[in-house]
Amino acid sequence: MSIPEAVKLKNPITERDHTSGSATAPVTLLEYGNFECIYCGGVYPIIKQVRKLLGDNLRFVYRHFPTVHTHPHSLRAAEAAESAAAQQKFWQMHDELFTHQTALEDRDLSHYARRVGLNLERFTHDMTEHSFLQQIESDYQLSLFDEHVTGTPTLYLNEVRYTGATDLEGLLHAIKLSDTTGQIQLPESLHGLRRLLSRLQRDARD
């Protein structure tokens, strides 16, 4: 039985990408996502937990893939995220949009902009003038024709497409396997992982 050939990322990560974490991390997790996609919404808290657990050992990259024919609010949500990025608040808006996936009308987007502390006049101008629409559409075309992304979430680990499980245990296991440096050390059992996450959450509240 032949082993399927690994699908490699064709468009490398650049300064234009939205990244969180160290560029020297042993593993980079890249997501092509859509703020209105329920599957992206499902993996969002898991990725958030993974990022918290691994800290400097993981770099996370988010790229837009708004599919307006199935998710009519996804493009405006991506525009809102880019407008926030122009004010250095991309990740705050990213979290708001995924936390409130069912409320993505323009009035909702303005509410989130206010909540994350954006300059509302500038945000409204960017949204009215579609300041970032051309950039988003250009990136979408690259994703579609270069990477052959067809749905969301589409994930890559160290620039190799990942098609395995996206539950906490499965994703962490895949990330650990992608770490050729051996820097990432994790508990063997899911129970141990959850205990570690619980401790991290308690520490964050203290």
204 or 72, greater pLDDT: 72
Rounded to an integer, what distance in angstroms lies between the CA atom of residue 168 and that of residue 47? 8
From residue 139, how far is each of 18, 32, 164, 179 by CA, in Å? 13, 11, 25, 28
Residue 47 burial by CB count (10 A; 0-12/13-18/19+): exposed, middle or buried?
buried
Mean per-residue pLDDT for 175-191? 83
Which CATH architecture is the domain 18-200 placed in?
A: 3-Layer(aba) Sandwich (3.40)
User: Dihedral sign, CA of 32, 34, 35, 38?
Assistant: negative
- Mean pLDDT value of segment 2-17: 86
Domain boundaries, the chain: 18-200
**Rounded mean pLDDT of 125-146?**
97
Alpha helices in 55-132 (DSSP H): 74-85, 90-99, 106-115, 120-129
- Examine the pLDDT at 132 and tell me if it is beyond 80: yes
Report residue 189's pLDDT band, with 50, 70 and 90 as the boundaries.
Answer: low
Predicted confidence (pLDDT) per residue in 148-162, tens digit: 999 999 999 999 999
- Mean pLDDT, the chain, rounded, equals 92
